[in-house]
């Protein structure tokens, strides 16, 4: 079918629009958005196999050939991330059914959830850099609304900062696109990649533009020293929304760095990728310092989001096949497991009635399932072999060693250890220790809250155990990134 | 003190239709001259804002008993719907076509499917603008 590639964008968009007509019919909203999310999972997994069998799929919107029209490109990296997004969004949607209060549900929660997914999926699939900006804005505007949705005092305060930072970074994004258009005269990524190869004399200005894009995507994706806005604003909204933010939003920024730094800006890798490597290392270190320092469970987890950004971008900066594969594995793993952890922490806060570690304790007595699921998720996050974090980290280490970045590999190992410390501290203090709960449902119940995280942990275990099966897919994705010619040929059809 | 807005209200009755006519003209002209769905929608919205200034929210609600949030949604559905048509014809999403038709009074005219997309934009702009203004304007 001609239009297959656009279906992952169209399904959530159309669902969101239809839901706008019936804001008060909450049951209808739940049923329709559930059907749409399941459909999205099916369609995107089908696309994975289509890309695997028939190579990169493209769709020229309106029948205009690239570079003149907008083209949607489903290469392996994009479509793997779209599938992961669809699974995470399904789990978070299920969690929302039980955790979002009726008042919020009646005021367009589900439509904006769907629009957020539209933006994320669109950003993954587009092959045009200005279209990427537009999908970023679709995603961000939906996220502005979701972060303030409900209007509690802390949400209002944090959303103000969040909007301010993102408006500034979006303006920088437009400026970067304008510079790039002035130098290269095109906005299609494949065409850009080809043009930049022939613009040797313009190399210094292209390097400047590359760094400008790094700043923009670093602001969106929380790279050191541009992550300052993230911890407070991700801790503010309800845990379902925080989960979707932590699992998806920063990853779109990382994906954009991934894409631009492997397809477009490859003219002066000695400089640009060295900057990326150093910033990635500092991101790991500063993220983990935050995770160790905090006593609030939400804050600890939010700082772990920043650590993962560092890991993935280090893989990108190595420019080796192992590094790329490690980054892709780790990116997929991190989307799933961060989703699971945010949902579990959300459930923990519900049953403990507080998010402060000092006021929790002994949760395992009444909530054993929750406790052991949290423990499994932590093991997966850190990368204990049968679970999903291991293979990504192993490949990242291999890539780092073969690129000769020994110090950064060392920093990575140390911060992994500290990630383990920061998370296991939640387990030991929150689930063991002095029992603070007298009855099972003293503050709230976990009804319906455990199944979504169980799905995500199962997917994580699947990624870990089925790494052998997943390997050819990831290898294809890494190969496309390592050899931009494949991407260019598929898009421009030369 | 009861204020008397008779001059403003009488002027509005005349000016309103001029603005509405101009906005529709702008809307249909978008393909060949400056104009289009966005500016046309903003002008229609501004005509309704003038009505809001001269009268009050209740009055405008009586004249136009629609929920502007639904207007936005209908506009979005129209715009996406023009893209969905491409599924029926087996062409890439958002493909467009045009043809020439002869009408009884107007003579030969070019009709393009891009106009349908613009109808969507027009409705979204009106809906969003008036939703914002009415929401801010209403008393708690």
Separation CA A120–CA A141 (nearest Å): 12
> What is the Cα A388 distance to its own chain's centre?
16
> Which residues are paired to A57 by β-bridges?
A74
CA angle A357, A160, A284 (to 5 degrees): 50
Separation CA B71–CA B140 (nearest Å): 23
Interface test with A, best of B93, B114, B127 (most A CBs within 10 A): B93
Q: Is A3–B73 a contact, with Cβ atoms under 8 angstroms apart?
A: no
- Which pLDDT belongs to residue B12? 92
Q: What is residue B111's DSSP assignment? A: E
Separation CA A310–CA A277 (nearest Å): 9
Which tokens go with B11?
């002027």
3-state secondary structure of B110: strand
- Confirm or reject contact between A18 and chain B (CB < 8 A): yes
- Confirm or reject contact between B59 and chain A (CB < 8 A): no
**A14, A21, A60: residue with CB nearest B80:** A14
ipTM of the complex: 0.91
> Which residues are paired to A316 by β-bridges?
none
Rounded CA Rg of chain B: 18
- Confirm or reject contact between A270 and chain B (CB < 8 A): no
CB contact set of A162 (below 8 Å; sequence gap of 6+): A143, A144, A147, A229, A233
Is A248 inside any structural domain?
no
> What is the Cα A273 distance to its own chain's centre?
21
- Which pLDDT belongs to residue A440? 65
- Which pLDDT belongs to residue A254? 92
Report the gap between the CA of A3 and the closest CA in chain B (Å).
6
Number of domains in chain A: 1
Is A258 inside any structural domain?
no
- Confirm or reject contact between A13 and chain B (CB < 8 A): yes
- Which pLDDT belongs to residue B2? 62
Is A279 inside any structural domain?
yes
CB contact set of A226 (below 8 Å; sequence gap of 6+): A215, A218, A219
- Which pLDDT belongs to residue A351? 85
- Which pLDDT belongs to residue B83? 85
Q: Is A17–B80 a contact, with Cβ atoms under 8 angstroms apart?
A: yes
Report the gap between the CA of A145 and the closest CA in chain B (Å).
14
Is A38 inside any structural domain?
no
Separation CA A355–CA A346 (nearest Å): 9
Interface test with A, best of B92, B96, B140 (most A CBs within 10 A): B92
pLDDT, tens digit (0-9, with 9 covering 90-100), for B46-101: 999 999 888 888 888 888 888 899 999 999 999 998 888 878 887 888 888 887 88
- Confirm or reject contact between A10 and chain B (CB < 8 A): yes
Is A320 inside any structural domain?
yes
What is the domain range of residue A453?
Answer: 271-481
Which tokens go with B125?
């702009």
- Confirm or reject contact between B76 and chain A (CB < 8 A): yes
3-state secondary structure of B109: strand
Is the predicted pLDDT of residue B140 greater than 60, yes or no?
no
CA neighbor of B80 nearest in space, from A111, A132, A12: A12
Q: Is A59–B69 a contact, with Cβ atoms under 8 angstroms apart?
A: no
Separation CA A161–CA A139 (nearest Å): 17
- Which pLDDT belongs to residue A13? 95
- Confirm or reject contact between A215 and chain B (CB < 8 A): no
Nearest-Cα residue of chain A relative to residue B89: A2
Report the gap between the CA of A21 and the closest CA in chain B (Å).
6
Report the gap between the CA of B69 and the closest CA in chain A (Å).
8
Report the gap between the CA of B123 and the closest CA in chain A (Å).
14
3-state secondary structure of A434: coil
- Confirm or reject contact between A14 and chain B (CB < 8 A): yes
**B69, B87, B95: residue with CB nearest A63:** B95
| Dihedral over alpha carbons B113, B114, B115, B118 (to 10 degrees) | 140
CB contact set of A252 (below 8 Å; sequence gap of 6+): A120, A123, A124, A136, A139, A220, A221
Chain A residues touching B70 at Cβ < 8 A? 20-21
pTM of the model: 0.94
Chain A residues touching B123 at Cβ < 8 A? none
Chain B residues touching A9 at Cβ < 8 A? none
pLDDT, tens digit (0-9, with 9 covering 90-100), for B106-128: 778 778 888 889 999 999 999 99
Nearest-Cα residue of chain A relative to residue B96: A62
Interface test with B, best of A3, A36, A43, A122 (most B CBs within 10 A): A3
Chain A residues touching B95 at Cβ < 8 A? 62-63
Is A467 inside any structural domain?
yes
Q: Is A20–B69 a contact, with Cβ atoms under 8 angstroms apart?
A: yes
Divide the 494 residues of chain A into consecutive groups of 10 and give the mean pLDDT of each group: 84 94 91 95 93 89 86 92 95 92 88 95 93 94 92 90 93 94 91 84 85 91 88 89 92 92 84 90 92 91 92 90 92 93 91 83 84 91 86 92 90 92 90 75 76 92 88 91 88 79
Is A476 inside any structural domain?
yes
- Confirm or reject contact between A24 and chain B (CB < 8 A): no
- Which pLDDT belongs to residue A257? 92
- Which pLDDT belongs to residue A494? 63
Is A391 inside any structural domain?
yes
């Amino acid at each position: 079918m001609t239009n297959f590639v656009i279906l992952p964008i169209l399904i959530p968009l159309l669902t969101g629009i239809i839901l706008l007509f019936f804001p008060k019919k909450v049951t209808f909203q739940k049923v329709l958005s559930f059907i749409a999310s399941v459909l999205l999972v099916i369609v995107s997994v089908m696309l994975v196999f289509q890309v695997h069998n028939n190579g990169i799929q493209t769709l020229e919107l309106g029948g205009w050939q690239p570079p003149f029209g907008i083209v949607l490109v489903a290469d392996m990296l994009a479509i793997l991330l779209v599938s992961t997004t669809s699974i995470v969004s399904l789990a978070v949607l299920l969690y929302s059914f039980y955790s979002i209060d009726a008042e919020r549900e009646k005021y367009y929660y589900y439509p904006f959830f769907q629009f957020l997914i539209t933006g994320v999926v669109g950003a993954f699939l587009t092959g045009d850099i200005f279209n990427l900006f537009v999908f970023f804005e679709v995603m961000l505007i939906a996220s502005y609304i979701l972060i303030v949705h409900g209007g509690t005092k802390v949400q209002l305060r944090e959303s103000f900062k969040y909007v301010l930072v993102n408006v500034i970074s979006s303006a920088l994004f437009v400026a970067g696109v304008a510079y790039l258009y002035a130098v290269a005269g095109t906005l299609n990524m494949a065409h850009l990649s080809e043009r930049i190869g022939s613009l040797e004399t313009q190399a210094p200005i292209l390097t400047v533009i590359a760094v400008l894009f790094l700043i923009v995507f670093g602001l969106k994706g929380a790279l050191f020293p541009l992550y300052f806005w993230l911890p407070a604003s991700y801790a503010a909204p309800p845990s379902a929304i925080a989960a979707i933010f932590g699992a998806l939003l920063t990853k779109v920024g990382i994906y954009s760095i991934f894409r631009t730094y492997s397809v477009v800006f490859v003219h002066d890798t000695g400089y640009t990728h060295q900057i990326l490597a150093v910033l990635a290392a500092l991101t790991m270190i500063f993220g983990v310092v935050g995770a160790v320092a905090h006593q609030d469970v939400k804050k600890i987890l939010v700082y772990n989001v920043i650590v993962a950004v560092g890991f993935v971008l280090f893989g990108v900066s190595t420019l080796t096949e192992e590094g790329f594969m490690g980054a892709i594995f780790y990116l997929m793993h991190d989307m799933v497991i961060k989703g699971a952890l945010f949902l579990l922490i959300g459930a923990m806060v519900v049953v403990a009635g507080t998010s402060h570690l000092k006021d929790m304790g002994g949760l395992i007595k009444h909530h054993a399932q929750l406790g052991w699921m949290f423990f499994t998720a932590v093991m997966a996050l850190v990368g204990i072999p049968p679970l999903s974090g291991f293979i990504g980290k192993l490949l990242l280490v291999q890539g780092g060693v073969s690129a000769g970045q020994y110090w950064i590999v060392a920093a990575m190992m140390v911060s992994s250890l500290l990630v383990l410390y920061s998370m296991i501290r939640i387990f030991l203090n929150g689930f063991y220790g002095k029992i603070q709960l007298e009855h099972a449902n003293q503050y709230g119940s976990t009804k319906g809250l455990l199944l979504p995280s169980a799905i995500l942990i199962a997917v994580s275990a699947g990624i870990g155990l089925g790494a052998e099966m997943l390997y050819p897919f990831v290898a294809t994705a890494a190969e496309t990134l390592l050899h931009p010619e494949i991407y260019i040929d598929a898009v421009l059809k030369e | 003190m009861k204020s008397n807005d008779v001059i403003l209200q009488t002027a509005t009755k005349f000016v309103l239709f001029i603005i509405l006519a101009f906005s529709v003209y702008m809307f249909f002209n978008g393909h060949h001259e400056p104009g289009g769905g966005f500016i046309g929608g903003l002008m229609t919205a501004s005509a309704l804002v003038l009505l809001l200034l001269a009268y009050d929210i209740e009055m405008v609600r009586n004249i136009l008993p629609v929920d502007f949030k639904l207007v936005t949604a209908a506009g979005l559905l129209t715009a996406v719907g023009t893209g969905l048509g491409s599924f029926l014809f087996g062409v890439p999403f958002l493909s467009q076509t045009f043809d020439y038709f002869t009408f009884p009074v107007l003579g030969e005219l070019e009709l393009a499917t891009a106009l349908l997309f613009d109808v969507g934009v027009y409705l979204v702009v009106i809906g969003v603008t008036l939703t914002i203004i009415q929401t801010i304007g209403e008393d708690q």
